[in-house]
Structure 1
Amino acid sequence: MADLDELIGFLVPNTPSQIQDIALDYVVGLTASADGFKILLDNHKVLFALLDLLEVDALPSKDLVFRALVNMSADAALKRQFTSQSLETLLDGVLSPGYVFADGACMILCNVTREEAGARMLWDIMARGGRQAEKLAELVDAFCNISFNTVKGTLDYAATLLSNVTQVPEARLALIDKQRCLLQRLLPFTGYQASKVRRGGIIGVVRNCCIDPACHDWLLGEDVSLLSHLLLPLAGPEEYSDEEMDKLPVDLQFLEPSKTREEDASIRKMLIEAINQLCSTRAGREVIKSLGTYYVMRELYNWEKDAETRLTCRKLIDLLISDEPETGMENLRDVDVPADVQRALEEQDAQMLEDFKAEVADDGAAAAVTPATTATTVDNTDDTTATADNTESAS
């Protein structure tokens, strides 16, 4: 403990920079190992010292402070120790065009807000003075302006931050405010090929905004045309019959033979889940069925190699081709499923998932023994990472 107290003594603003560099580098090393993390968990003074350094503007070793805090904020216990003052400082940094550490600030905020309690804490900070809508608009503005940060910050993780914040119902309401059009500004990033983090984060935002059935009519209407943005990344180059083509949204008709699907399986799964949310009411299902969603899902199901995504697709297809429920049960969110039925459905899903995994394994084995006499295309959709969880470590 004496050694740790000595270390903390160097984590103060007036420490000579060379000594402070050594101390901070040691802390970063602690965050990179299980034993080191245990030391940090047993004594939160190191975290508090780093949060104090976060407030110092002219700190030569501030990059090391951010590296340590990014890693520490990934821990469930440590992230709860972040103060509202530190979160406000980080948010202000993200929203400052000349802030050098904006991307690091984004990553820390993403980790802290991953659970709803952290998201609520940040939203309450944004709501100070009744300016939550303005703060949210500022964050959307910064994100949508690719060159907002003038010192080469990308703000890609602002997408994940927005996704996390929209766990809070009030944040979702502010984002789908019909007068501000914030959600519509984010939708083009559902197909933003330059950054998987941006795509995945914004699709997470969209999925969260689909939770409330009260806004489904607006989301599916002409003001937003959300379904086209959800279906387009899931569509491939397949040809449809004239009858099927006529039902599809205009943006999905006569796609180029070179059209490719979203490459990340976890993002494809979120897209399908968002459509599934929109199917919770009869009115939503009618719109989604009328726009040929089944045809896109049919082709995706036949193409999909990721077992979990294929299961999610299959469940949506079953919903689209099934008969409408009886009167009084049209809103699927209001249906009370008995516990034994719920267990049976979960067991059925688990068995289907295992079957899909076996099919993928069999396909892979068959491909492995095929003589390599011609060039082949390898589908790597199983080799994916979760988009919202890649904020845990500093490089």
Structure 2
Amino acid sequence: MPTQLEELVSFLHSPQPAVKQIALDNLVGFSQGPTASVFKYDNCKAIDDLKALSKENSKILVQQSVTILANLCDDDLLRRRISSDVDFLEYLSWKICDLGNTSADIMCILLSNLAKENPINKVFTFTRREKNEEQPNLPPLDRSIFKSNRAIDCLMDCFVKGYDRKLNKFSTFDYLSYFFADISRFKAGRQYFIETQEYDSVTPISKLLVFTEKYDSKIRREGVASTIKNSLFDSETHQRLLEDDNINLLPYILLPIASAKDSEIDEEDMFNLPDELQLLPEDKTRDPVPSIICVHLESILLLCTTKNGREYLRSKSVYPLVRELHKNVENEDIGELCYRIVNVLMRGEPESNQVEELPTRSADDQKNAEDSEDDEDEIIEVA
């Protein structure tokens, strides 16, 4: 005999809308913690019901069903069950780009949570058939805003253009930064962020860099910092990322770790810094979140994996900047990373041109590590 809670879950596929609404009202609170296992009842039929409800026209039905799905992603089995539905992934991706969508932000959270699984790579294949033709099973697309037929490009446009609610008054799209961080752990994701895109002739990672100093949004800074770091796992791309003026990567890694109060950088070193780091305004402060500073320091370490990268960082006075950070910020994790950077940059070049093992896993190992504590591995739950 099903329990009372299991019976409530079964009401999600009732033919009566009012019954579905009552079930959702009561089930949202059970989608977190141990009680979430009730959604596995009857071979996880509730997952299909919730996906169907997320496509309804009712704002409340959509908000509640997507909230439950986002929370259920904390369970590995349920997350895999949701993410294995490629048609739903496609619907979700395009629905986020529906500029009248009142649930876009919670859908960004769900998409980010689903990005822990391999099927998320399908997002790079989601396209509209023709520029002016809408596919009947997908939400509308505002062609005055979105010039690409690819969902990943449109999601990038939402994130870059929509942070101030000018695209969608109901959404900031901040949580797409976590989605980008997760997909950048896959090879296809890293390639996307560092390759110039045909539709606008811009390299996607260059669009994200400005948000490394958006101090009113920890979510954006955190996700973007991790996306940058993950995009650096392929060392053969480092030289182009560092030297291409259209990308201009290094200043946006260094600015969050720099402060106007770093007074002991001598004049010669100061003028070797990237232009953006010279003569900082008096109110320029470091990122207030130590863990985000650590991510940027890990990016610097990744850039140290090639001899050309190390020489470039030396020429740009990265060592004096890191020295000042170490001197002025009391944090054990920051201190350890600063020490490792200084050790790599200030010692002589070994004959083999190899450096010590870096304190970051390979992208694939990082993805599969069961006990990972990285922010990208955390499931975002919705209260």
TM-score category by the smaller chain?
Answer: 0.7 to 0.9
For residue 39 of structure 1, what is the aligned residue in structure 2? 38
Instruction: Please report how far the alpha carbon of residue 150 of structure 1 lies from its aligned counterpart in structure 2 after TM superposition.
Output: 2.2
Q: Does 1:74 align with 2:96?
A: no
With structure 1 as the length reference, what TM-score do the two structures score?
Answer: 0.79
| Residue identity matched to 1:90 | L
Question: Please, which of 86, 94, 97 is the counterpart of residue 95 of structure 1?
Answer: 97
For residue 238 of structure 1, what is the aligned residue in structure 2? 262
Instruction: Please report how far the alpha carbon of residue 177 of structure 1 lies from its aligned counterpart in structure 2 after TM superposition.
Output: 1.5
For residue 360 of structure 1, what is the aligned residue in structure 2? none
For residue 139 of structure 1, what is the aligned residue in structure 2? 155
Q: Is the 8 A contact 1:95 1:139 kept in 2?
A: yes
Task: For residues 79-136 of structure 1, give each alpha carbon's deviation from its aligned partner in whole angstroms, at most 9, with x where no partner exists.
Answer: 11112222222111111111111111110111111x3xx2x31222431469999332
CA distance in 2, matches of 1:391, 1:149: 26
| Residue identity matched to 1:126 | F
Task: For residues 253-304 of structure 1, give each alpha carbon's deviation from its aligned partner in whole angstroms, at most 9, with x where no partner exists.
Answer: 1223322100111110110111111111000100001100001110111122
CA separation of 1:53 and 1:174: change in aligned 2, threshold 3 A: same
Structure ranking higher in helix proportion: 1
2:150 is paired with a residue whose SS is helix
Q: Is the 8 A contact 2:103 2:170 kept in 1?
A: no
Instruction: Please report how far the alpha carbon of residue 305 of structure 1 lies from its aligned counterpart in structure 2 after TM superposition.
Output: 2.5
Q: Is the 8 A contact 1:176 1:209 kept in 2?
A: yes
| Residue identity matched to 2:170 | K
Q: Does 1:169 align with 2:187?
A: yes
For residue 311 of structure 1, what is the aligned residue in structure 2? 336
Q: Does 1:394 align with 2:382?
A: yes
For residue 24 of structure 1, what is the aligned residue in structure 2? 24
* Structure 2, gaps ≥5 residues long: 130-147, 361-372
* Structure 1, gaps ≥5 residues long: 347-384
CA separation of 1:27 and 1:258: change in aligned 2, threshold 3 A: same
For residue 13 of structure 2, what is the aligned residue in structure 1? 12
Q: Is the 8 A contact 2:6 2:38 kept in 1?
A: no
| Residue identity matched to 1:393 | E
Instruction: Please report how far the alpha carbon of residue 5 of structure 1 lies from its aligned counterpart in structure 2 after TM superposition.
Output: 5.3
Q: Is the 8 A contact 1:103 1:157 kept in 2?
A: yes
Task: For residues 34-91 of structure 1, give each alpha carbon's deviation from its aligned partner in whole angstroms, at most 9, with x where no partner exists.
Answer: 2x12333565222232122223334642221122112111222211111222222211
CA distance in 2, matches of 1:54, 1:145: 25
2:121 is paired with a residue whose SS is helix
With structure 2 as the length reference, what TM-score do the two structures score?
Answer: 0.81
CA separation of 1:331 and 1:130: change in aligned 2, threshold 3 A: farther
Task: For residues 339-368 of structure 1, give each alpha carbon's deviation from its aligned partner in whole angstroms, at most 9, with x where no partner exists.
Answer: xxx9xx99xxxxxxxxxxxxxxxxxxxxxx
For residue 330 of structure 1, what is the aligned residue in structure 2? 353
For residue 214 of structure 1, what is the aligned residue in structure 2? 236
Instruction: Please report how far the alpha carbon of residue 33 of structure 1 lies from its aligned counterpart in structure 2 after TM superposition.
Output: 3.6
For residue 62 of structure 1, what is the aligned residue in structure 2? 62
Instruction: Please report how far the alpha carbon of residue 24 of structure 1 lies from its aligned counterpart in structure 2 after TM superposition.
Output: 1.2
Question: Please, which of 273, 276, 281 is the counterpart of residue 251 of structure 1?
Answer: 276
Aligned Cα RMSD in Å? 2.7
Larger Rg: 1
| Residue identity matched to 2:108 | C
Instruction: Please report how far the alpha carbon of residue 200 of structure 1 lies from its aligned counterpart in structure 2 after TM superposition.
Output: 1.0
Q: Is the 8 A contact 1:74 1:112 kept in 2?
A: no
Q: Which moved more, 1:145-154 or 1:192-201?
A: 145-154
Q: Which moved more, 1:72-81 or 1:25-34?
A: 25-34
| Residue identity matched to 1:137 | D
CA separation of 1:151 and 1:14: change in aligned 2, threshold 3 A: farther
